[in-house]
Structure 1
């Protein structure tokens, strides 16, 4: 049997050494090394998206991989791709590290400098384990399967710009189209999704913070099944308990949700905490909500710069949504795009709070009138983000939704260069006059 091996080694010299040894293993099919944790997860997700049979039997993780630490990366790979045998390569052969690696999901440990005999033994053992798991994976065991769903984070440039309303409506739009959706409140100290959806709850995200191995059964016990079909993972009722959710536990929680649901929408609030930072870093799309006023736009710029300094997310990888948009305001989306350096959503949400007030006051955001221009714009944004199931050939740009703003982008993923003299698009606010 041929063993497919994917090394994740950031150091070029170590990568060459490991690749040379792997090429000498009998019946081994080593892939080209990946240089960081993000590239490893993306590669595995792509292979799993084609077919679970395309996944390698063995993944080698070098101790100096980054930006996610090696043990956290092993935990994420083991959780999202449970049929892969992960082997850690490290200079630390202490019992403490060995125990920590096994708890994270590793199937073996190879010490540096790497010897051929030890590498061959660990790879063979991990491959045999992987083959056995794949043989029984279809028997309905309590494990996560599949490449994982899409993670969208929603953050506010400052408090009160509409991040929570945006997150709730994105989740509702995705669920209404037939997706399985989890809505997470990671505004840990002041999150209020429960109030927006009229929920009385006992369990929260804090109940998962101290669990080392989040199985589907454990996860299902922590989420609240809403009448709309959304799975809600809520912020704690006591804000001080939010400190119990570390960045490490947040990564594990997001990975567990992503493996269980097709779409995961996370409200990160406007204050950056370790847990929220981890979620934003892991997200497929990070949405930053602002309003077209000086204070909010300054807040958006400050947030984006902070994310860049902390190496959480680059400005060009952030999607900015303009909420409460008015056509004749001085601050237009092209100016916000220039100030923040982010990509602008094709959709802008019109300023029409009167439509929302009844639903907000009653805590029934899920019952917002379908004719609401705000709802139509946010559901159009969900289509733009690709988190709704649409008929073949349907337009994801928002169609005739109110508040639509078209810029010079063909899609949110690939900005097109502007031609000289092109000043960008203009906004509209249909139905808001």
Structure 2
């Protein structure tokens, strides 16, 4: 095995298994077993050498993939490393079988050449890590150690809902162009300006604009967290967030739209759960749809701000989506309506909008040329024009969210 590890993160070749700076420690318990499935015994010998540094670990060579999968799902092994001689379709099918079985075992895939498409297919199939054949012995050991630790570990505080401390505010609309991202970014920055610890997540995974609105370069995105798979913990996740000058931390959407397919609902749930243990407020920007990613965010939310506007199409979409939210069990106290461009002269009154959508309007955001000007500068309007009417409304919204949190803490105490 050579000296140049290759895996994929943000288009940069590096070993995905080495992303954790210290590696996870294997818990005391049963003797870990690694199954190696490859037609050549050389890979099993290399794995045996790499696993020598992991206490009480055995390595078994299997040429038959079905038998190796059966042993893993039965709990007789913790890790299955599928070698490069196994056809990719068979490797992906094996990973899906392990994932669907619900067992704690992990499937690793070793390949001679790694590209974006292969990595996407591997992650969608349930492969925990993809390793290049050029990985060093030390890097392979780290991969194996992490995979074993994940299989044997017990749930931690960070994995449990009891560790959650954040108020999760999801900004929602099933219609595009209503100002969701403007509202989400400005509320998040306004919360940060109040001295609160805040993270903002861009879940518009194909065409997210949070980075543009805040003038941030996508040096890190949610893809790094997704590619870390089950090894992801709060400390590792923190490394994928980008800093904004306000003190806000931001998890940006993927750079390439096709990468959105890799961001599954289960991974979103884990990301939101981990972030909820680290911040007071978690703001989530969403795409104009009601898909699994949005429903996952809604399930984690303590507050949903539904955005509508003074036009018939927006009103129709808001009425239907609010009705759907009620059918799904998201009650009225969770969902608050913000009317964007509330002062538009379009032969409609806010009261008419309330009647049409069947819900009261809590926040009214006026039109102002300062908003598009701020957007074009990559600045939140609460920073660029803090005295403007939209900035005052958005800042007041953030303060109301803080006040509600403080009141809830007082009532609990």
Interval of TM-score (by shorter of Structure 1 and Structure 2): 0.5 to 0.7
Q: Is the 8 A contact 1:149 1:262 kept in 2?
A: yes
Q: Note if 1:299 corresponds to 2:317.
A: yes
- Closer, same or farther: CA 298–97 of 1 in aligned 2, 3 Å: closer
Could you tell me which of 285, 310, 314 is aligned with 1:267? 285
Could you tell me which of 237, 256, 264 is aligned with 1:219? 237
Q: Is the 8 A contact 1:320 1:344 kept in 2?
A: yes
Q: SS at 2:168's partner residue?
A: strand
Q: Is the 8 A contact 2:343 2:367 kept in 1?
A: yes
C-alpha deviations, 1:11-69, integer Å up to 9, x for none?
xxxxxxxxxxxxxxxxxxxxxxxxxxxxxxxxxxxxxxxxxxxxxxxxxxxxxxxxxxx
Q: Is the 8 A contact 2:174 2:290 kept in 1?
A: no
- In the TM superposition, residue 217 of structure 1 has moved relative to its aligned partner by 1.8
Residue 191 of structure 1 is matched in structure 2 by: 208
Residue 404 of structure 1 is matched in structure 2 by: none
C-alpha deviations, 1:67-88, integer Å up to 9, x for none?
xxxxxxxxxxxxxxxxxxxxxx
- In the TM superposition, residue 333 of structure 1 has moved relative to its aligned partner by 3.4
The runs of 5 or more residues in structure 1 that have no matched partner are: 1-92, 105-128, 393-433
C-alpha deviations, 1:267-286, integer Å up to 9, x for none?
01312331122101220011
- Closer, same or farther: CA 269–368 of 1 in aligned 2, 3 Å: farther
Could you tell me which of 368, 378, 381 is aligned with 1:363? 378
- Closer, same or farther: CA 359–158 of 1 in aligned 2, 3 Å: same
Q: SS at 1:222's partner residue?
A: coil
Residue 90 of structure 2 is matched in structure 1 by: none
Larger of the two Rg values belongs to structure: 2
Separation in 2 of the partners of 1:198 and 1:327? 28
Separation in 1 of the partners of 2:99 and 2:313? 48
Residue 273 of structure 2 is matched in structure 1 by: 255
Q: SS at 2:304's partner residue?
A: strand
- In the TM superposition, residue 157 of structure 1 has moved relative to its aligned partner by 4.3
Residue 249 of structure 2 is matched in structure 1 by: 231
Separation in 2 of the partners of 1:340 and 1:189? 28
- Closer, same or farther: CA 383–148 of 1 in aligned 2, 3 Å: same
Q: Is the 8 A contact 2:306 2:335 kept in 1?
A: yes
Residue 242 of structure 1 is matched in structure 2 by: 260
For normalisation by structure 1, the TM-score amounts to: 0.55
Q: Note if 1:376 corresponds to 2:392.
A: yes
Task: Give RMSD over aligned pairs.
Answer: 3.3
- In the TM superposition, residue 330 of structure 1 has moved relative to its aligned partner by 4.0
Q: Note if 1:164 corresponds to 2:194.
A: no
- Closer, same or farther: CA 340–101 of 1 in aligned 2, 3 Å: farther
Residue 282 of structure 1 is matched in structure 2 by: 300
Q: Is the 8 A contact 1:182 1:230 kept in 2?
A: yes
Q: Which aligned pairs between 1:7-406 and structure 2 lie closer than 5 A?
A: 95=75, 100=102, 146-210=163-227, 211-309=229-327, 311=328, 313-314=330-331, 317-326=334-343, 330-345=347-362, 347-352=363-368, 354-365=369-380, 367-386=383-402
Q: Is the 8 A contact 2:161 2:273 kept in 1?
A: no
Aligned residues: 264
- Closer, same or farther: CA 205–274 of 1 in aligned 2, 3 Å: same
For normalisation by structure 2, the TM-score amounts to: 0.57
- In the TM superposition, residue 222 of structure 1 has moved relative to its aligned partner by 0.8
- Closer, same or farther: CA 337–221 of 1 in aligned 2, 3 Å: same
- In the TM superposition, residue 361 of structure 1 has moved relative to its aligned partner by 1.1
Separation in 2 of the partners of 1:196 and 1:303? 26
- In the TM superposition, residue 315 of structure 1 has moved relative to its aligned partner by 5.5
- Closer, same or farther: CA 206–298 of 1 in aligned 2, 3 Å: same
- In the TM superposition, residue 386 of structure 1 has moved relative to its aligned partner by 3.0
Q: Is the 8 A contact 1:180 1:263 kept in 2?
A: yes
Separation in 1 of the partners of 2:325 and 2:340? 21
The runs of 5 or more residues in structure 2 that have no matched partner are: 1-72, 76-97, 107-152, 408-413
Q: Is the 8 A contact 2:159 2:274 kept in 1?
A: no
